[in-house]
Amino acid sequence: MELDWSFWVAIALGIAYLVILTGEICRLILDNRNPVHTLAWLVVLVTMPFIGIFLFYSLGMNYRKRKIFSRKGLGDLKWLSYMSEDQRDMLKKQKILKGKRLATERKLMTLLLNNNKALLTANNSIAVYNNGVNSFEAIFSAIERAASFVHLEFYIVEEGELATRLFSLLLSKLKQGVEVRFIYDDVGSWKLSTEFVEQLRGAGAKMYPFLPLRIHRKKANYRNHRKIVVVDGEVAFMGGVNVADRYIYGSSIGRWRDTLLKIEGEAIASLQVIFMIDWYFVSQEVLLDRAHYFPSIPCEGETMAQIVSSGPDSEWDSIRQAYVAMVNMAENHVYISTPYFMPGDVMLNALKSAAMCGVDVRLMLPFNSDSFLTNWCSRSYIEELLIAGVRVFLFKPGINHSKVVSIDGRIAAVGSANMDLRSLEQNFEVSMIVYDRNVVEVVESDYSDDISLSIEIKLEEWLKRPKMMQVKESVSRLFAPLL
């Protein structure tokens, strides 16, 4: 009996599929990733025929080792190495800390110089904003005074009242001859229409999406989660705030609480460098050799700070290392606020160890979340944290979107990085480490206010939660490396 040709086609396709599947599994194993990540992707590849390969190709490729892009076209960055080397020598001799009473912070400062070339800046003035209304009023006020350039970088730009006001303001500055450069993430800003973007481009703004999916599909998992605004090199902003109306009006979940830093002083140059590296990637335009983007402007502030970045282009997981170092340094308390909590084993063990050493470790998560899967996954860690002595709070009024870690009233990290595997391993992120008791006092005061609006989870009550909730948590946690 003669077999139908479709049978042989099916056999050929099956063989081809098995060859491709075997190749992807070998690639996954040879990457030498965290075993938990490897096993999670193996489950996806084996149990989801065809779809699993597509997901792995789109979301699971490890570009950190391969370098997602090269910095060779950025000109001479040796000055960063020279300056960080000089600072390392000064820190060893503690000369740079003379009179600052910051000798105990020296190890963290040195870590960030070594893993990220994060220059230690001494003359800064930093203001802390704790809601979207005040944050954007401050940003708009700074842009209104712009005379030379405005550089912006956001993960989410969502059409609405806030985006319309921002774009109108930028159009006005373009007419005055001010340069405008704008980076938005192609996935985070997927709702942003071409018409909305073209009105700025048509007026002369340079505006680019980061890793557009139509071009970089196999790198779709690597997103630019940074939020940066630099105006004339005189004032800058960074934190967790995106351009979306929910930051001023809230959403169906409730109000969106976030933290933004306004920076004046030496640290702006470091933030500008991070923006310019991203700008080179999206536009191939080199800006680092143009001195007028780095004006020397005296600042009367005395706040010491480092700007640290991380991403698939980084040699080290710089922000994760900073978080772990801070927790290990804490002697009195650790306060953490993050909307998504999937910390990985190293961070998780650091928190549990600190609590078991008698440190007051507090973790604040949203009571309700904008992502059910990450919400269940985040809650899967609560039981073991409570057993170790970590105090866990759920923010009731809405979503606390702040990404804050502070210790002992003396060091705070504020930025774009959530305490989850995506932020700490895959996304392009930026954070400021502040060594100033006055600034940290403001951050921790805001944290205390948030605590007063939260409910604390007690272990005996948490253990009584429904079995179905525990199942959802456990199943969701299997996908933590993929979220």
Q: Domain containing 297 — which CATH number?
A: 3.30.870.10
272 and 230 belong to one structural domain: yes
403 in catalytic set = yes
Catalytic residue from among 173, 401, 436, 450: 401
DSSP-based three-state secondary structure for 303? coil
Q: Alpha carbon of 113 to those of 88, 412, 414: distances in Å?
A: 7, 17, 18
Kindly tell me if the per-residue pLDDT of 437 is higher than 60: yes
- Cβ atoms of 403 and 260 within 8 Å: the answer is no
247 and 128 belong to one structural domain: yes
- In 3D, which of 478, 157, 146, 106 has the Cα closest to residue 325? 106
On whether residue 312 sits in a domain, the answer given is no
326 and 453 belong to one structural domain: yes
- In 3D, which of 446, 382, 379 has the Cα closest to residue 412? 446
Strand partners, 124: 265
Instruction: Count other Cβ atoms within 10 Å, centred on residue 217.
Output: 12
Catalytic residue from among 317, 408, 420, 446: 408
On whether residue 65 sits in a domain, the answer given is no
324 and 297 belong to one structural domain: no
424 and 289 belong to one structural domain: no
401 in catalytic set = yes
171 and 263 belong to one structural domain: yes
Output the pLDDT for position 1. Answer: 45
Catalytic residue from among 403, 420, 446, 450: 403
* Count of residues in the chain: 483
Range of the domain at 17: 5-60
Domain final residue pick, 259, 276, 307? 307
126 and 203 belong to one structural domain: yes
Domain final residue pick, 246, 272, 307? 307
pLDDT tier for residue 309 given thresholds of 50, 70 and 90: very high
218 or 203, higher pLDDT = 203
- Joined together, the tokens standing for residue 454 give 């939260």
408 in catalytic set = yes
On whether residue 67 sits in a domain, the answer given is no
Output the pLDDT for position 19. Answer: 72
pLDDT tier for residue 75 given thresholds of 50, 70 and 90: very low
Mean pLDDT of 145-170: 97
Q: How many domains does the chain have?
A: 3
Kindly tell me if the per-residue pLDDT of 228 is higher than 50: yes
282 and 163 belong to one structural domain: yes
Q: What is the pLDDT of residues 232-272, one digit of tens each?
A: 999 999 999 999 999 999 888 889 999 999 999 999 999 99
What is the CA angle 424-316-401, rounded to 5?
A: 20
Kindly tell me if the per-residue pLDDT of 73 is higher than 50: no
Q: Alpha carbon of 347 to those of 373, 424, 471: distances in Å?
A: 21, 10, 24
On whether residue 335 sits in a domain, the answer given is yes
On whether residue 125 sits in a domain, the answer given is yes
Output the pLDDT for position 314. Answer: 79
The b/e string for 73-92 (b: 16+ C-beta within 10 A; e otherwise) is ebeeeeeeeeebeebeeebe
Residue with tokens 């992120």: 429
On whether residue 457 sits in a domain, the answer given is yes
In whole angstroms, what is the distance from residue 276 CA to residue 270 CA?
10
On whether residue 108 sits in a domain, the answer given is no
Kindly tell me if the per-residue pLDDT of 72 is higher than 60: no
Residue with tokens 């700074």: 142
In whole angstroms, what is the distance from residue 325 CA to residue 281 CA?
30
Q: What is the pLDDT of residues 316-373, one digit of tens each?
A: 889 999 999 999 999 999 999 999 999 988 999 999 999 999 999 999 999 988 877 8
| DSSP one-letter string for 448-463 | HHHHHTEEEEPHHHHT
Q: What is the pLDDT of residues 112-125, one digit of tens each?
A: 999 988 989 989 99
- Cβ atoms of 357 and 323 within 8 Å: the answer is no
- The reported pTM is 0.85
pLDDT tier for residue 230 given thresholds of 50, 70 and 90: very high
> Whole-number mean pLDDT of the chain?
86
Kindly tell me if the per-residue pLDDT of 47 is higher than 80: no
302 and 393 belong to one structural domain: no
Give me the percent of the chain exceeding a pLDDT of 90: 59
64 Cβ neighbours under 8 A, 6+ residues apart: 312, 314, 425
Catalytic residue from among 37, 151, 225, 262: 225
292 in catalytic set = no
On whether residue 113 sits in a domain, the answer given is no
Mean pLDDT of 116-135: 93
Catalytic residue from among 37, 117, 173, 232: 232
In whole angstroms, what is the distance from residue 302 CA to residue 295 CA?
19
41 and 160 belong to one structural domain: no
247 or 19, higher pLDDT = 247
390 and 332 belong to one structural domain: yes
DSSP 314: -
- Cβ atoms of 259 and 138 within 8 Å: the answer is no
Output the pLDDT for position 146. Answer: 97
Residue 223 is which amino acid?
A: R
Residue with tokens 């985040």: 378
414 and 441 belong to one structural domain: yes
